[in-house]
Chains A and B, each alone.
Chain A
């Protein structure tokens, strides 16, 4: 069977939300929504799960904390202990207050950069990546909903197209794809 991808374009995010809700109630799966800014409340309608980036960030932060503490213990206490201004370095616990600033800074450094790198990789947005939005206007003032026939076997492509045409669109395009 020939697969079809339908791009329905809206000029208002609320119209798109309403349309997505109607589609969902009719058992249609929306594959993707492209928008120039985040549409609040669209995620549960089109079935986008909550991101786990914050958890990842916490793990990076913990790694940073441990690395910083281990490093400072090694440099200042284990490898070359020094008596600086009458404040000798003998145990990690005694020295901990002086290690707080760098432990904090290093944790933040790891959390922020770890999360940023994860974010770019998970989004597949990296330098040199090609853009994949269906229409250049979706980064300006248009909102596009993408519905594919192979995700919606209960409805024919024509039915899907008719449903979308009825939902306050500005433009619609139907394409075949492999």
Chain B
């Protein structure tokens, strides 16, 4: 058995046995829905319905209902798309990259982070879908024979790369998540007494029986999927950034974009994981599994990626001046002093300055401070995308066509609506799915559980 240093903080607190882990995670699924859950899902459903209404109105009327104009032809839709895709990145990072690095703390958070990834990518996919304008011909992005629609799709275009990247990312994350869920669904199946839920979980668990060979394959599949999901997660946001970087718009045409977008994605994703988990651990009594140490680890990731993002902002500014290209340097001067400077300074404050507070150990181990800062980061990252997209195009080469973007009611409604849909999906997940990876937690109980660590300590 793997041993761990006694001075290392335990990951599972309290006097837990294997049975306790099952009880703590599956118990809430078996019981009646708590009042807080009912209240929350009512709120999120109302917001979701409102969002669906706005989307329906948009599709029925046309994208003229957005605040876009001839100069700013891409704004909230694509901002929201990049924001949601970015949020999705944390889940895969936690489940794949941290698996390769054998980080045991990921086991308490990977399941819900992956769920968040999947729901966030679904929300992201809404935006390219609806901003096509004619969603009923959205199958034209597929490489179908040219008699079918138009010519073959252009494989040299980053927009098409995006189609492949997002669909691959979504489906691979889904499969990765589900493979991990199967043994845990089997645990629920074997506990359930009521016939209908038992039947449902029995179907979901695919008849998993936990044979030695099954587990060998399970571990191999997890490892290989983690191995290929790692470059995948980096490629996805790199490709998203190439939607901009391969254009010739000053402010977009920068080679720094792929790494900068990827670290920004991880940054915002971890912030969203923290926002969701801090609520979840409290309402579902998971304090023994997701505790201060986990939060601290995630906050460290936030400092690292936030600082990378900060360096990228400064590099962009420096290079725009150093390049000697006046359009390039104007794009950046306009960013921090033009009509959208308020957005730029919100971005700078939320992404570069406030996350640095996490250098203080007291703050990064404080749950309330973390919760507030995680929301601040999410706001900051939304504004980052807004700043990059809108400020780069609202003043182009020809001053007579300069314009501004003003969000409409529908812009706002769709964005808020996707948050509602996301929240509803996540709440359904929290209610009916095993929110912690049971089998993985049980496998680290002896090396990282508080009671076992004390036991080993006494032996020496």
Chain A residues in contact with chain B, CB under 8 A? 14, 32-40, 42-43, 46, 48, 50-51, 53-54, 57, 61, 71-72, 75-76, 79-80, 82, 84, 87, 89, 95, 98-99, 101-102, 104-106, 108-109, 111-113, 115-116, 119-120, 122-133, 136-141
Contacts and interface: CB of A to CB of B under 8 A. Distances in A.
A53 B210 contact: no
Contact of B207 (A48, A89, A129): A129
**Interface size class of chain B, counting residues whose CB lies under 8 Å from the partner chain:** 35 or more
Contact of A139 (B156, B160, B190): B190
A51 B212 contact: no
A37 B190 contact: no
B50 to A, nearest CB: 35
A75 B144 CA distance: 10
A100 to B, nearest CB: 9
Nearest to B157: A84
B285 interface: no
Given A101-B161, A102-B161, 10 more contacts: A34-B209, A38-B218, A40-B1, A102-B155, A109-B171, A112-B171, A113-B175, A119-B217, A127-B203, A140-B191
A42 B214 CA distance: 12
Interface in B214-228: 214-221, 223-225, 228
B168 interface: yes
A162 B115 CA distance: 48
A113 B176 CA distance: 10
Interface of B: 1-2, 17-19, 22, 143, 146, 151-158, 160-161, 164-165, 167-168, 171-172, 175-176, 179, 182-183, 186-187, 189-191, 202-203, 205-221, 223-225, 228-229, 231-232, 235, 239, 242, 438-440, 442-443
Q: Which 4 A-B residue pairings sit nearest by Cβ, starting from the closest?
A: A129-B207, A141-B18, A136-B190, A38-B215
Nearest to A75: B152
A79 B145 CA distance: 10
A129 to B, nearest CB: 3
Given A102-B160, A108-B232, A46 B212 contact: yes
B439 A36 contact: yes
Nearest to A117: B175
Contact of B155 (A38, A98, A131): A98
Nearest to A116: B175
A18 to B, nearest CB: 12
Contacts of B155: 72, 75-76, 98-99, 102
28 contacts: A32-B211, A34-B210, A36-B22, A36-B183, A36-B438, A37-B183, A39-B212, A43-B212, A48-B213, A71-B143, A79-B152, A84-B157, A101-B158, A102-B161, A106-B164, A108-B168, A108-B172, A108-B231, A112-B171, A112-B172, A113-B175, A119-B218, A125-B208, A125-B214, A127-B203, A131-B205, A138-B210, A139-B190
